[in-house]
Amino acid sequence: MSIGREQHMAVTIKSPQELEKMRIAGRLAAEVLEMIEAHVQVGVSTGELDRICHEYIVNKQQAIPAPLNYNGFPKSICTSINDVVCHGIPNHKKILKDGDIVNIDITVIKDGYHGDTSKMFCMGKTPPHAERLVHITQECLYRGIELVKPGATLGDIGSVIQQHAEKNYYSVVREYCGHGIGAIFHEEPQVLHYGQKGSGMELKQGMTFTIEPMLNAGRRHVKLNTKDGWTVTTRDGRLSAQWEHTLAVTETGCEVLTTRSDESF
C-alpha cells in the first residue's frame, strides 16, 4: 500500500531480531496472495475477496490486516481494477469481469511488524495490450530490486524503473511511491519510481522498504475520488498496473521478504 500520511523523518535500521519479525510478516503477506489466487475468478466480487482475505489473516495467520481502519480505510485489502491506480476499496457490488486486470494489495501486521506486497491478476481473456502493461510493470519492479545493495541510491531504483517504463511507451505515476516499512506502516524513505541515477539517499544494510511501481498505459496523471477519499484513477481513463514487494538491504544485496513460491530471487 503506497499512501504515506504517517511518514516519520528518520530512516530506521532494523536489528537482526527486527528483520526476523519482518521476514515472518512478509512471508504471511505473500501467503495471502497465494491463497486468494484460486478465488480470483470472473464473477467474484471484490468484497468477497476482501472477506476471504480478512478471515484468513485474522483466523488462520493470527495476524492483523493493516489497511483496515488505517486513516479511515474501510477494508482489509485494496483491490484496484483497470483504470484504478491504487487504493481501490473492495465492494460486494464490484464484480470482476472477463478481460479485467486487478491489483490485490495485502499488508499484514504480525508481532508488531508489517509485510506489504501486491500482484496483478488477469481475468479470463485479457487483451494483449493489458497483459503487456502488467508484464512490463512486473519487469520494472524486478529491475529495481536487482539494483538494491549497500552503496546504491534510491535514484538508481527510480531511474531504472522510469527508463524501462518509458522505453515501453508507458508513464510512471509520481504522486504515489514506495516507502520505508517496519513497526510503522509508512516510514522514511520515500521510494520514488522515477529519478536520476546516483541521486537520493544511499542504501545501507538493515534498511527495509517497498518498491511498488505504478505504470499507466496513457499519461501519468491521476485523480483522487473525493467521495470516498481513497480510490485513485488515471485521469485519462486508461489502464494502470502495479506490483509490490517489501525488501531488506543485506550486506551484499537484498532479501525480498514477500517472495511468492512462483518467484526466485
Which stretch of DSSP H or E encloses residue 33? helix 16-36
- The predicted model gives 91-108 an average pLDDT of 98
Average pLDDT of the chain is 96
Query: Does pTM top 0.75 for this prediction?
Result: yes
When computed from its CA atoms, the radius of gyration of the chain, rounded to whole angstroms, is: 17
Residue type present at position 143: R
Strand 101-110 to strand 222-224: parallel, antiparallel, or no bridges (unpaired)? unpaired
What gap in Å lies between CA 141 and CA 180, rounded to an integer?
A: 16
Q: For residue 1, what pLDDT is reported?
A: 79
Res. 10: pLDDT tops 90: no
For the segment 104-141, what is each residue's pLDDT rounded down to a tens digit?
999 999 999 999 999 999 999 999 999 999 999 999 99
Q: Using one digit for the tens of pLDDT, what is the confidence trace for 142-165?
A: 999 999 999 999 999 999 999 999
Distances (CA, A) of 106 to 15, 85, 97: 24, 15, 21
Read off the pLDDT band of 9 (50, 70, 90). low
Query: Quick one: 59 exposed, middle or buried, by C-beta within 10 A (0-12, 13-18, 19+)?
Result: exposed
75 residue type, one letter: K
Residue pair 104/121 in contact (Cβ under 8 Å)? The answer is: yes
CA distance 258 to 25: 8
pLDDT in tens, 181-199: 999 999 999 999 999 999 9
Confidence of residue 5 (pLDDT cuts 50, 70, 90): very low
**Closest C-alpha to 95, from 53, 49, 44:** 44
* Nearest residue to 31 via CA among 263, 259, 264, 265: 259
pLDDT in tens, 30-59: 999 999 999 999 999 999 999 999 999 999
pLDDT reported for residue 3: 59
